[in-house]
Structure 1
Amino acid sequence: MHTVNIEKLNAKKMTFFLKRFIDVVGSIIGLVIAAIIILFVAIAMKIDEPKGPIFFAQTRVGKNGKEFKMYKIRSMCIDAEEKLAELIRHNEIEGAMFKMKDDPRITKVGKFIRKTSIDELPQLWNVLKGDMSLVGPRPPLLRELKKYTELDRERLLVKPGCTGLWQVSGRNELDFQQMVELDIQYIDNLSIKNDIFIIFKTIIVMIKPNGAY
C-alpha cells in the first residue's frame, strides 16, 4: 500500500480553498433540505420512542487529531454505548472499527435512516462549522484511534467527510484495511473533480442504498 505524498498535498492550496467554498455553500443548501426530512423522521422517532432524543452527539477525531462533536440522528437505543461491551465479540469487520449487520441496538426507525444514510444529515452542521468537509475520510472514534497504525493515521491529514470514496465503493462490504486504502487513494489524488464525482455518486447511493447498515 502506498502512502500519501505530503509535499504534493500541501501544495494544493487552491484545491483546499475551493473545497471549503463548496462545503459552505453545499452545507447551507443541504441543511435547508435536510430540515424537512429530519422533521418527518423526528415525528416517526417520537412515535416509536417518545422519551428518546432525536439527535446524537459523539466525540470523533478530525484533521491532525483534533477532537470534535459529530452530530447524527439517533438510530440506536438510548443505552447503546453501554451495550457495546456485550456485543464487541460479534464484530463483523476486521481492524479498528465495529460493525454488526443485525445490531440489536438499532431501532425500527434507525434501520431505515441508516440504510438511506438519513442519519448522517446533521453532519452538514459540522461541515458548516468547519469540523468536517462534504467529502473526506470517515472520522474515527477515540477508541478506534488507539488501534491505528502509522499508515492508518494518514487518514487524518485532511478533514473528515460526510461521505467519501469508501462509502460509494462498497461501504460495509469492505474491511477496514480496504477502507484505509481507499481513503489514502482519495487524499493522494485530492481534487474538486473527484469530490464532485463522489457527491453525485453519494446521492445515487442514498436513493438506491448499497451496503449500509
Structure 2
Amino acid sequence: MYSRFLKRPQDMILATVSLLVLSPVLVTIAGLIKWKLGGPVLFKQKRPGKDGVVFEMVKFRTMTDERDEHGELLPDEARLTPFGNKLRSLSLDELPSLFNIVKGDIAIVGPRPLLVEYLPRYNDEQRRRHVVRPGLTGLAQVNGRNRLSWPNRFALDVKYVDNVTFLNDWKIILQTVGKVVKKDGISSDTAATMEAFMGDER
C-alpha cells in the first residue's frame, strides 16, 4: 500500500516544501559557485532510474573543467576544489536533485542512481536495484556510503527493494540527517567519491 500509493505523494510534498524553504540557500550557493567556479552552476548527468529508464540528474557543480594536454578531464581528486569539497561534505551539492524528486525521476529514499555505463555490468541480483525509483538517500548511504565495497552496497540496495515501508523510509531519512551532520562516508578510502564499478566482484 505505502510503496504503490503513498510514497510518491509524500515525496512530492516533502520535496516541494523543501525547495520553497531552502530557496534562499539554493540562490546563495548558486551565486557562490558562479563566483568561485564560473558557469555553469549546475552539473547534469544521465543516470538510470526505475526499470533502467535514463533521466538527467541535476546537482550543484563542485569541480573545475581542468583537462590534461590530450584534452581529457583530470581525475576527480585534481578537479575537486576546497569549496566544492565543502559543498559535498554537507551534501549541499545534492539540493538541486529535489527538482528530480518533484518530476518523479527519483524518490527521497531508494538505491542511489549510478552511472548509465554500469547497466550492462550488473548481474541479475544487482539489477533488481532498478525495480524501484532510485533515491536521494538510501540504505547503503546510512550504512557506509562511499566507503562500502560494491558487493555490500548492492546487497543493501536489494535489501531496501525488498523492504519498502513507511517506517523504513523515515528511519533512513533521520539517519541521513545524522550522517550529513557527521560528514560520514563522503569518500572511499582511495578516491574522492567512489571507485568505478567494473562488474560482478563475487
For normalisation by structure 2, the TM-score amounts to: 0.84
Name the counterpart of 1:54.
41
- Per-residue deviation, residues 133-178 of structure 1 (Å, max 9, x unmatched): 0000011211122322222111100000000011111111111111
Name the counterpart of 2:130.
156
Q: Do the aligned residues in 2 keep the contact of 1:52 with 1:78 (CA within 8 Å)?
A: no
SS where residue 45 of structure 2 aligns?
strand
Change in Cα spacing, 1:83 to 1:144, as seen in structure 2 (3 Å) is: farther
Quote the offset at 1:79 in angstroms: 5.2
Question: Is there any run of 5+ residues in structure 2 with no aligned partner, and where?
Answer: 188-202
Name the counterpart of 1:206.
180
SS where residue 70 of structure 1 aligns?
strand
Quote the offset at 1:104 in angstroms: 1.3
Change in Cα spacing, 1:22 to 1:107, as seen in structure 2 (3 Å) is: same
Alignment of 1:28 with 2:28, yes or no, is no
Amino acid in the other structure paired with 2:21: I
Q: How many residues align?
A: 184
Aligned equivalent of 1:186, options 152, 156, 160 = 160
- 2-structure distance, mates of 1:25, 1:66: 23
Quote the offset at 1:45 in angstroms: 1.7
Alignment of 1:167 with 2:141, yes or no, is yes
- 2-structure distance, mates of 1:189, 1:149: 20
Amino acid in the other structure paired with 2:13: V
Change in Cα spacing, 1:111 to 1:197, as seen in structure 2 (3 Å) is: same
Q: Do the aligned residues in 2 keep the contact of 1:61 with 1:142 (CA within 8 Å)?
A: yes
- 1-structure distance, mates of 2:185, 2:2: 34
Aligned equivalent of 1:64, options 44, 51, 55 = 51
For normalisation by structure 1, the TM-score amounts to: 0.80
Q: Where in structure 2 are the equivalents of 1:2-151 lying within 5 Å?
A: 13-49=1-37, 51-78=38-65, 83=72, 87=75, 103-151=77-125
Identity %: 38
Amino acid in the other structure paired with 1:32: L
- 2-structure distance, mates of 1:137, 1:14: 17
- 2-structure distance, mates of 1:134, 1:115: 19
Amino acid in the other structure paired with 1:209: K
- 1-structure distance, mates of 2:180, 2:23: 17
- 1-structure distance, mates of 2:95, 2:142: 16
Compare 71-80 and 145-154 and name the one that shifted more.
Answer: 71-80
Q: Do the aligned residues in 1 keep the contact of 2:108 with 2:135 (CA within 8 Å)?
A: yes
Quote the offset at 1:61 in angstroms: 0.2
- Per-residue deviation, residues 14-44 of structure 1 (Å, max 9, x unmatched): 4331111210111011112332222222232
- 2-structure distance, mates of 1:44, 1:14: 39
